Chain A
Amino acid sequence: MTEKQEEGMVSSRKREPVRHFQMPDTLVGKLRVWRFLIARRVVQVGTLILFIGTFCWGWKLFNQPVLTGNMSSSRLLDVIPLSDPFAVLQVIASLHWPHMDALIGAAIVLVIYLLLGGRVFCAWTCPVNMVTDLANWLREKWGVRSLFVVPSKTRYWALLLALVLSFILGVAAFEWISPIAIMHRELIYGIGLGFIAVLGIFIFDLLIMARGWCGHLCPLGAFWSITGRAAQVRVAFDDASCTRCGDCVKECPEPSVLSFKEISQYGMVRSGECTNCGKCIVVCPESSLSFNLRACICKSSSQSAHGSTS
């Protein structure tokens, strides 16, 4: 390596002794590290409890049922319809036209997740995420190695297949076997044999393929990945403070989301497959990663680009 190249690298990147993430000893410090994890669990469990409370215990707000239905389709305060856009898309693919309520509900949910980030659904709402996170935690703890790995793009094929099969079979193909829908439905309306599907995912993720379901196969995740490309809340990246220690890449549950080349170029995680789970943010020893709005990130990165050229 010539002197000139070395100089260039030093100027573009700090070459301090690389620090790695260390779990703080104090409880406050730990809670700080777990803050997004705790928030996600609160949202996931809270959503479920709102559904269960409304169905089983008749919870009301402003004298209206709080949240009726389940994640496939629901109604907030008996007025605002909410529907799973992917489920509605499959119904349309089966050449059936749903009622206006389902269409409006799907549009509302779509807009919400376009703003928050498509796969925010996966990390913050989907109940299966808790199952696969547990499987992954155990897998790492016990050192279970994947039997085989499929490309993470496989989910897009699953998505395409779901729509094609909906068209051929005349029914929403994924909705009929979706472990996500089964888990959510049975937690609310009573647990039955369908829970075997959830157990299946747990075993698959634990023993067969690391992050197999959420990270590789789930067509609903693929749907939200596509919409996530236009997400407004993103993980912003500060290149100046980053030491390339790689702790964030190790922590990220999604293969191929974090690449230093891309995030340093755009100043943020651009991939639609990012679930905004915040795991990378809390482990970064230099605090180079943070949540921000896409608009702010673009503005600041264009400013810094200006600054460097002038």
Chain B
Amino acid sequence: MSATDRRQFLIRTAQMAGVAACAGVVWSPLVRSQAQAAAHALRPPGALPEEDFMALCLKCGQCVRACPFKTLKLATVADVAPVGTPYFIARNIPCEMCVDVPCVPVCPSGALDRDLTDITKARMGLAVIDREICLSLRGLRCEVCYRVCPVRGKAITLNITHNQDTNRHARFEPVINSEYCTGCGICEKACPTEESSIRVLRHSFVQGKLGEHYSPSLGDDFKTQDVRHGTDIAKELNPGDKKQAAPGVGYFNQPGGREGIIPGGGQP
């Protein structure tokens, strides 16, 4: 190989690499715009966290075929979900929570986690209530969401309070418990208001998160139950470590001390 040949070869390689780089500049935003398009669509049960799901899903639609209620759909371009991935719109057809979870084991890539065999352990999303529109909160005896909920009496409970508007009736307020809500969306489908006043959204759109540094510091008698996991927040954050308890909230730690501060003890 002569010097000119070598130079030509290097130039040629650099040219191709340049073209490839330019193509990559066009290509990657295209992928990003697809893969991140409207990430609020609900996924089938057992779906891995969105980032892993997007990477693993082969967009083959075998879960869609396995779904006996035609709940699941494959998204096309400009749909509410990223192109080719399975999703469902609860207000159209919610997940009926089949006990045998037929959509999960057919997934060839593992984007749907096969360890999910108990459908009540699925976490497709979390229901939230528009407290301004909800008929029950307006004092009507609706509670349809409570009655249709497949995790009956657990995922949605009724909080009976005094109706201060009429000052004589009770108000049956539906309360969602994230510990049990699977995000199936049957409540969203059943809600009688014109636009559903209970909706299932992804956890990331709804749930807050305590900072890592946050310590309830309320002492052992104040067992804060983290409703999400049913675990003791204080223990989770400071396993076996009490010395991080912050000073200045000592009156909470006195036995019976909180009774005077929060009427009814603050516990539901």
Interface residues of A (CB under 8 A from B): 54-55, 65, 68-70, 72-75, 81, 83-84, 87-88, 91, 94, 96-99, 101-102, 105, 154, 157-158, 160-161, 164-165, 168-173, 175-177, 181-182, 185-186, 188-194, 196-197
Give the interface SS of chain A, mostly helix, strand, loop or mixed.
helix
Closest to B86 in A: A189
For chain B residues 4-46, which have a beta carbon within 8 Å of chain A? Answer: 16, 19-20, 23-24, 27-28, 30-32, 34-35
Q: Are B62 and A75 in contact (CB under 8 A)?
A: yes
Closest to A170 in B: B55
Q: Bound state CA distance, A70 and B57, in angstroms?
A: 13
Q: Bound state CA distance, A190 and B61, in angstroms?
A: 11
Q: Are B34 and A70 in contact (CB under 8 A)?
A: no
The interface residues of chain B lying within 8 Å CB-to-CB of A96 are: 52, 55-56
Q: Bound state CA distance, A205 and B109, in angstroms?
A: 33
Q: Which of A177, A186, A189, A192 contacts B34 (CB 8 A)?
A: A177
The interface residues of chain A lying within 8 Å CB-to-CB of B20 are: 157, 160-161
For chain B residues 62-103, which have a beta carbon within 8 Å of chain A? Answer: 62, 64-65, 73-74, 76-79, 82-84
Is the C-beta of B237 less than 8 angstroms from some C-beta in chain A?
no
Is the C-beta of B250 less than 8 angstroms from some C-beta in chain A?
no
Q: Bound state CA distance, A185 and B65, in angstroms?
A: 13
Which has the most chain A C-beta neighbours within 10 Å: B59, B60, B73?
B60
Q: Are A73 and B31 in contact (CB under 8 A)?
A: no
The interface residues of chain B lying within 8 Å CB-to-CB of A55 are: 61, 64-65
Q: Are A87 and B58 in contact (CB under 8 A)?
A: yes
Q: Bound state CA distance, A53 and B57, in angstroms?
A: 23
Decide yes or no: A99 and B114 within 8 Å by CB, A160-B20, A165-B28 being known contacts. yes
Q: Are A177 and B31 in contact (CB under 8 A)?
A: yes
Is the C-beta of B129 less than 8 angstroms from some C-beta in chain A?
no
Closest to B110 in A: A99
* 19 pairs, CB–CB < 8 Å, chain A vs chain B: A68-B106, A70-B60, A72-B58, A73-B60, A74-B60, A88-B109, A99-B110, A101-B109, A102-B108, A157-B23, A160-B20, A164-B24, A165-B27, A168-B28, A172-B58, A175-B58, A181-B59, A189-B64, A191-B76
The interface residues of chain A lying within 8 Å CB-to-CB of B176 are: none
6 nearest CB pairs, A to B:
A192-B76, A99-B110, A73-B60, A69-B60, A193-B77, A101-B108
A91-B55, A192-B78 given; 8 more Cβ-contact pairs under 8 Å:
A91-B56, A96-B56, A102-B108, A161-B27, A168-B28, A173-B28, A176-B34, A185-B74
